[in-house]
Structure 1
Amino acid sequence: MDLLTANDRQGAYPASYYAQTARQLDPFPSAKGALRCDVCVVGAGFTGMSTAYHLALRGYDVIVLDAQRVGFGASGRNGGQVIKGQRREQNELEAKLGDAHARELWDIGAQAVDLVRTLCKKDEVDTAFHDGIIEAAHRKRDVPDYHAYVEHLATKYDFHDACTLDADECRHLVNSPAYHGGSLNMGSGHVNPLALVLGLTRLAVNAGVRVFEQSKVDDITKGDPAIITTADAEISARYVVLGCNGYLGNLQPRVAQRVMPINNYIVSTKPMDPAQQEDLIRNNYAVTDGKFVVNYFRFSDDHRLLFGGTESYGYKFPKDIAGAVRKPLSEIFPQLNDVEIEHAWGGTLAITMNRLPHYERLTGNILTMSGFSGAGVALGTLSGQIAADAIAGQAERFDVMAKIPTPAFPGGTMMRQPLLVLAMLWYSLRDKL
């Protein structure tokens, strides 16, 4: 089964809040015939469109191919949280990779947020950057760890944009009985993700990038030039950048062994009045909690609660997405037990074993970046800039990311899904203890 069409119609965005409210682009044509370019980018999400835009600014001739529509995948469906740092905390990275490498990864994670902030100020991008993410502890015994991490970032990384929250402070900001404290990080924030990727596309097209939609790549023949084949086109390119994330399929089996697609789900409520919004989450902050299967939520600019939670690991989405997500929504906000849900959608992201991105040069002229594990708004967008730099001969940041060891999933692509299901059952039980 093909994830590109397992839950969605060919050439159509999902029935998400984002898709129904976005200033959409006119459809791009599909690729046809013999084409040439300096760089062929596969995938028109954050990574792909950022790569194309930053290469075009350097004068490269770029073609972007997408099997569906621009921003069709995780880039246009996610929770919109722009998180400073990596998906793993710095003390974990220090223990696994050493202080020097951990510091480099922190700097890259900070650059990722800065880039998204900068892009959101451009006229082509129809989303504001809203400051502040609350990281909420669902277990009382975890609160000291949250507070110690705030102190660790301040003392070791000179990061002072985060503060601790005790139980009363957390309840004041997030009107939920589910949390016992945590932290507030003003160095992170949230955006409308589909608006961001569509804005990146406008910037790229204005810079001369050629975009082709509904142009699924069937094969990539290595060489100089590389040959990229679709049903109706053959593209000759000096470089290839893969920005497919969870929709890579079997295009590159080596990457598929290390990067696994999983599904996540979001609902949006009917609009609330500003006082209702402020009563639930103050100051328009976003929220994420400490569960392994994380709950994450924020408000849209038109005062809808966007709530994400629950995962699945097969191809198909559940028939009743709204019902599946309503359960954790009601646990976090029991006062919204009967709230009207107007949109419910799923999306496919990609994870790695260590929850850190997988960067690799598959050959000297084929680069891949994926496996952002829920942190793709920031890291996926910056990855495009990093890929552009690497192609232009400035590969320092690419090499920092590529140094992260990315183990293959046990059992390969055939057994990774059932083994992950067993692991997730264990973690879901642990979350309840």
Structure 2
Amino acid sequence: MNLLHVNDKQGAYPPSYYAATAVPFPALPSLEGDVAADVCVVGGGYTGLSAALHLGRRGYRVVLLEAQRLGFGASGRNGGQVGSGQRQDQDWLEKSLGQTKARALWDLAEEAKDLVKAICQDAGLDYAPGVAVACHHAGEVREAHAYAEKLSRDYGYQAIETLDQDAIRGLIGSQAFKGGIIDRSAGHIHPLNFALAIARAAQGAGAMLFENSEVTGLAEGMVTTAKGSVRAKHILLACNGYLGDLQPKVAARVMPINNFILATEPLGDAAKVLSENIAVYDTRFVVNYWRLSEDNRLLFGGGESYGYRFPDILKTVRKPMLEIYPQLRDARIDYAWGGTLAITTNRLPCFTRPAPGMLSASGYSGHGVAFATLAGKIMAEAVAGQEERFDLMAGIPQMPFPGGAALRHPLLVMAMLWYGMRDRLGV
């Protein structure tokens, strides 16, 4: 099943709030004929666009191939949250990888966040600071507060405020939580506008960008599409959840999953949802996340899906939204969309050299707005011979999913059913 096509029309963005409000970006031509480049980038999301931008600035001749539209995938559909750290917390990283690597990964994540802020500033895009974690249980509150203390003590990170029950309820307008934290350095953005801003900058740096140019074959030094080919010394894979079977070694370690978002009608003051312009996510395993749009819509993501085809998105996401905000029962839903991201077994990004002359970065596991952008810069460094940071990421063990591509999806279904049941039971 080809996720590039099963849920979406060719050459069109999904009917999302982001697509409806994006700064216009004219459609680009598809690749036709045979061209030569120093680097061919496959995938027009944050990773690929950032790689094209940073390679262009280094003087490389770059061709980027996107199967649909730039920012078509998770880069243009996500919750827009720019988080701190990695998908795994520093306690886990220290225990699993050691203090030195854990610190290096923290520093990279901080750089990734700064890179997003810099791109937004250069492009005139809003970066709204503040991401809160809303805890369902008292034990989770204690853990979150202890973690904030650890980051302050061990990493010098003092941007996190702890919130008790009254504070979290006053901040987010819901009675569902016992407390939490808010990270004032993390933030949220319009994700599709951000992707297109990187694309404009990449064009300005000389990169050649092509849309509707699905890659059908890879060989050493050669990338082919239905209507053309690119000869290049370096090939960068930046496909994330839309890789398919293009590179089996990567596909065995990076699994696509779907997620879904609703956008309500613009809300009046009576809804009393968020008292500040922040983003929020909760402590469910099947996580819920939300924020307000510039025109005061609630953008709420979450829900569960166990197939590659999108379910009834309205039904899937409206239920958890109303559990948190029952006051929105009568609110009209104006947009509902889904998208495909990618996870790894350890929930850390998968950097690898799957073949001679080929680099790949993907599997951001829902934490990719910032790090996927930095990943493109790190890949550009590696092409230029500065391989230390790519090697750091590639040195993180990435086990293939049990059973490979054939069995990974049924195993995920069983795991998500189990964790979904734990969420519902409050375990």
TM class by shorter-chain length? Answer: over 0.9
Count how many residue pairs are aligned between Structure 1 and Structure 2. 425
Matched, 1:38 2:38: yes
Matched, 1:198 2:191: no
Give secondary structure in 2 for the equivalent of 1:267. Answer: strand
Could you tell me which residue of structure 2 aligns to residue 184 of structure 1? 182
Give the letter for the 1:307 counterpart.
Answer: F
Shift in Å at residue 313 of structure 1? 3.4
Could you tell me which residue of structure 2 aligns to residue 249 of structure 1? 244
CA distance in 1 between counterparts of 2:402 and 2:356 reads 28
Shift in Å at residue 326 of structure 1? 0.5
Matched, 1:263 2:258: yes
Shift in Å at residue 363 of structure 1? 3.1
Could you tell me which residue of structure 1 aligns to residue 347 of structure 2? 355
The answer on whether the counterparts of 2:174 and 2:325 sit within 8 Å (CA) in structure 1 is yes
Could you tell me which residue of structure 2 aligns to residue 314 of structure 1? 307
Q: 2:126 aligns with which of 114, 125, 128?
A: 128
Could you tell me which residue of structure 1 aligns to residue 48 of structure 2? 48
CA distance in 2 between counterparts of 1:303 and 1:335 reads 15
The answer on whether the counterparts of 2:45 and 2:238 sit within 8 Å (CA) in structure 1 is yes
The answer on whether the counterparts of 1:28 and 1:211 sit within 8 Å (CA) in structure 2 is yes
CA distance in 2 between counterparts of 1:183 and 1:304 reads 23
Give secondary structure in 1 for the equivalent of 2:4. Answer: helix
Over the aligned positions, Cα root-mean-square deviation in angstroms equals 1.1
Give secondary structure in 1 for the equivalent of 2:232. Answer: strand
1:302-360 Cα offsets, whole Å, 9 max, x none, are 11110000132322001x21121100000011111221110000000001111110000
Q: 2:267 aligns with which of 257, 263, 272?
A: 272
Worse overlay, 364-373 or 42-51: 364-373
Give the letter for the 2:195 counterpart.
Answer: V
Give the letter for the 1:255 counterpart.
Answer: V
Give the letter for the 1:403 counterpart.
Answer: G
The answer on whether the counterparts of 2:304 and 2:316 sit within 8 Å (CA) in structure 1 is no
CA distance in 1 between counterparts of 2:278 and 2:22 reads 22
CA distance in 2 between counterparts of 1:377 and 1:202 reads 18
Structure 2: runs of 5+ lacking an equivalent: none
Shift in Å at residue 110 of structure 1? 0.5
Shift in Å at residue 147 of structure 1? 0.6
CA distance in 1 between counterparts of 2:179 and 2:356 reads 48
CA distance in 1 between counterparts of 2:316 and 2:304 reads 9
The answer on whether the counterparts of 2:236 and 2:360 sit within 8 Å (CA) in structure 1 is yes
CA distance in 2 between counterparts of 1:3 and 1:27 reads 21
The answer on whether the counterparts of 2:133 and 2:180 sit within 8 Å (CA) in structure 1 is yes
Alignment of 1:221-300 (within 5 A): 221-222=219-220, 226-273=221-268, 275-276=269-270, 279-300=272-293
Shift in Å at residue 286 of structure 1? 0.3
Could you tell me which residue of structure 2 aligns to residue 346 of structure 1? 338
Matched, 1:330 2:322: yes
Structure 1: runs of 5+ lacking an equivalent: none
Q: 2:372 aligns with which of 380, 388, 392?
A: 380
Give the letter for the 1:260 counterpart.
Answer: M
The answer on whether the counterparts of 1:262 and 1:311 sit within 8 Å (CA) in structure 2 is no
Shift in Å at residue 101 of structure 1? 0.5
Matched, 1:412 2:411: no
CA distance in 2 between counterparts of 1:70 and 1:313 reads 27
Give secondary structure in 2 for the equivalent of 1:15. Answer: coil
CA distance in 2 between counterparts of 1:351 and 1:113 reads 20
CA distance in 2 between counterparts of 1:13 and 1:27 reads 11
1:367-420 Cα offsets, whole Å, 9 max, x none, are 000000011111111101111111111122111111111111111101111111
Matched, 1:216 2:248: no
CA distance in 2 between counterparts of 1:65 and 1:17 reads 25
Could you tell me which residue of structure 2 aligns to residue 84 of structure 1? 84
Identity of aligned residues (%): 52
Could you tell me which residue of structure 1 aligns to residue 24 of structure 2? 24
Shift in Å at residue 140 of structure 1? 2.0
CA distance in 2 between counterparts of 1:144 and 1:189 reads 23
CA distance in 2 between counterparts of 1:148 and 1:276 reads 35
CA distance in 2 between counterparts of 1:424 and 1:149 reads 26
CA distance in 1 between counterparts of 2:122 and 2:295 reads 21
1:152-183 Cα offsets, whole Å, 9 max, x none, are 10111010000211111111111111111111
CA distance in 2 between counterparts of 1:186 and 1:392 reads 35
The answer on whether the counterparts of 1:132 and 1:188 sit within 8 Å (CA) in structure 2 is yes
CA distance in 1 between counterparts of 2:70 and 2:270 reads 34
Shift in Å at residue 364 of structure 1? 4.2
Give the letter for the 1:347 counterpart.
Answer: G
- TM-score normalised by length of structure 2: 0.98
Give secondary structure in 2 for the equivalent of 1:121. Answer: helix
Give secondary structure in 1 for the equivalent of 2:5. Answer: helix
